[in-house]
Every structure is written in structure tokens, then in C-alpha cells.
Amino acid sequence: TDRYCVFGHPVGHSKSPAIHAAFAGQTGDDIEYVAIEAPLDDFAGAWRRFVSEGGRGANVTVPFKEEAFRLCDTLSLRGRRAGAVNTLILGGNGLSNDFKVYGDTTDGVGLVRDLRRHGVELAGARILVLGAGGAVRGVLEPLLVEGPVSVRVANRTAAKAEVLAADFRDLGEIAGGGFDAVEGPYDLVINGTSASLAGDLPPLPDDLFAPEATAHDMMYGAEPTVFLRWAAERGAHTVDGLGMLVEQAAESFFQWRGRRPDTAPVLEMLRQAL
Ligand code: ATR
């Protein structure tokens, strides 16, 4: 049995153990996957302990993704770009066995796969991303490499969006600013703020969406978020963050095990349980 886990704080609510158990059930991989609440001041110690007990890899969630990034010996390009990782692999990606720590971030590719599953065309799209925190930083590279016409990053604190856009400018047409600089219409609007948690809606113009536009919220719940309700009222297709969650997990599973699970039945299972 190979051991994996998700580190977080808190982590009790994590759906990752159920997702990976379902993946392993499909592929026949003999793995154990648990949730571990690492102490806020000693993530590195928790990881070392897990490794000494036979751990092979881990997912990392809030608030440890930046710390996980710092303890990696080797990083994927997208992980280096993101400055944060959600996937740790011991011994590289199977090519080396020297117990080095390899880090990757699979959130962005998870988002892109889920959007593709919903038939969203990213090449040539006008994209608006709301928020400029870690969650947004993690998805910009995979979005930009799909070849959108433009990406605008809008944030409550405008300066943070400007810095973020500058960091990714070499990858495509990207600009950052405050919500007041938002000028539609957009084909795709991604909410990467944590405003939904507080039931808040960023101040957005009514003519934000192009015809057939899609609104995506990285959050999910039994009920649509405030942002998705607002978007639906304005005619946009809506996609919540549950699919992204399952797709990022599938990419991590692939990194560890070399096999791609079928995400559709797992997403369906989680949806039923919300
Ligand atoms: P995460 O890792 O989830 O991205 P974060 O780095 O703390 O968390 O970023 C949270 C994001 O949500 C930020 O873009 C934040 O805006 P500020 O940079 O101006 O703080 C945004 N955010 C949080 N609460 C918000 C609210 N009520 N309205 C609008 N934006 C909000």
C-alpha cells in the first residue's frame, strides 16, 4: 500500500480522501489517502514525519501551499510560476529515486479541463479574472497558454492585480487593475476571490457578459454562489468549482500513479452528496 495525504489547516472538511479513494477504486491502485492537519507553525515537520512513515506524496491546501513550494527541490514550470504548489511527490516523478521532493500545482490545469468539459472555448476568448490572491496566481499560466485574446485581472486592491499581471506578461495579453477598470463584454468571467464565502459580490457592471458567456466560481456549495446567481440572471452559463476540484485531484493522481482516472462519476458522486 502506498501512502498519500492532504495537508491543510483546517482539513476535516476536505473531500480529497473520498476523491482519491474513488479514483483508486477505478484504477485498482493499492493506496491509502488520509487528511492530516499540520500545525500552522510546522508544515515542514509534518511533511518530514509523513515521509519517514512511508508517505509517497501529498496534496497541500490552505494555508500551506507557499510553504510547500519552498521545501521543494524541483518544481514544475507552472509550480514555479505560481509560487505555490498543491502536489508533492517524493522521488521526483518516478524517474529518479533519490528522495528529492518534486512540486507541482494542478489547480490551473484542473480549471482548464473542467471548462473544456463544459465546452468553453479558451482560444480567442476575452477573459476576466476576479481576485489577485494565491488562487488566481495558480491558474493564470494554464489559462494564458490556451491562447485567449486577452486576460484582465480585477481586484479590490488594484495594485495586487497590477503586480500579478506584470508577472505573467511574457505569456500573453494580460492587464490588471481595480473593479472600476473592468470593461466588458467578456466570454469568460472567473471568480477567484473569496468574496463568495462572505456572501459578497464584487461591484461589476451589468453588461459584463458577451452572448453565450460562461461564469465560473472557484467556490462551490449545495446552492449556487452569489456570483453565479448574479451571472445566471444576466444570461451567462454557470460553472461552480466542484469540477475544478475533481480535475485537479485527477491530475495529482496522474502525477503520482501514471494513470488518469475517469472524473465524471466521481464528480457526480460529490454533487449528490453536497
Ligand atoms: P486565496 O488563496 O483564496 O486566493 P487570498 O490570497 O487571501 O486567498 O486572496 C483572496 C482574494 O479575494 C483577494 O483577491 C481579495 O481581495 P484583496 O486583494 O483586495 O484583499 C479577495 N476578496 C476577499 N474578500 C473579498 C470581498 N469581500 N470583496 C472582494 N474581494 C474580496
The reply to whether omega before 10 is within 30° of 0 (cis) is yes
Per-domain residue ranges of the chain: 2-105, 108-243
**With contact defined as beta carbons under 8 Å apart, do 36 and 17 qualify?**
no
SS3 string, the chain, reads CEEEEEEECCCCCCCHHHHHHHHHHHHCCCEEEEEEECCCCCHHHHHHHHHHCCEEEEEECCCCHHHHHHCCCEECHHHHHHCCCCEEEECCCCCCCCCCEEEECCHHHHHHHHHHHCCCCCCCCEEEEECCCHHHHHHHHHHHCCCCCEEEEECCCHHHHHHHHHHHHHHCCEEEECHHHCCCCEEEEEECCCHHHHCCCCCCCCCCEEEEEEEEECCCCCCCCHHHHHHHHCCCEEECCHHHHHHHHHHHHHHHHCCCCCHHHHHHHHHHHC
Domains 2-105 and 108-243 share a fold: yes
Given this model, what pLDDT does residue 196 score? 82
Domain spanning 2-105 has what CATH number?
Answer: 3.40.50.10860
Ligand 1 nearest atom to the CA of residue 200, by list position: 27
Verify whether ligand 1 is closer than 6 Å to residue 133 (CB atom): yes
108-243, which class in CATH?
alpha beta
Pocket test for ligand 1, best of 69, 156, 218 (most atoms within 8 A of CB): 156
Ligand 1 centroid–CA 81 distance in Å is 19
pLDDT category at 237 given cuts 50, 70, 90 is very high
Residue of 20, 59, 64, 65 marked active site: 65
pLDDT category at 245 given cuts 50, 70, 90 is very high
Ligand 1 centroid–CA 226 distance in Å is 15
Per-residue pLDDT for 99 more than 90?
no
**178-215 per-position pLDDT tens digit:** 999 999 899 999 999 998 888 899 999 999 999 999 99
The answer to the question of whether 100 is labelled as a binding residue is: no
The b/e string for 219-243 (b: 16+ C-beta within 10 A; e otherwise) is: bbeeebbbbbebbeeeebbbbbbbb
Per-residue pLDDT for 232 more than 70?
yes
What is the rounded average pLDDT of the residues 160-187? Answer: 97
The answer to the question of whether 105 is labelled as a binding residue is: no
Verify whether ligand 1 is closer than 6 Å to residue 176 (CB atom): no
pTM as predicted: 0.95
Verify whether ligand 1 is closer than 6 Å to residue 202 (CB atom): yes
Ligand 1 centroid–CA 78 distance in Å is 22
Nearest residue (by CA) to ligand 1, atom 3, is 135
pLDDT category at 92 given cuts 50, 70, 90 is very low
The answer to the question of whether 155 is labelled as a binding residue is: yes
What are the grid coordinates assigned to 173, written together? 495579453
Ligand 1 centroid–CA 132 distance in Å is 7
Per-residue pLDDT for 228 more than 70?
yes
Let me know if 65 is a catalytic residue: yes
The answer to the question of whether 135 is labelled as a binding residue is: yes
Higher confidence at residue 238 or residue 92? 238
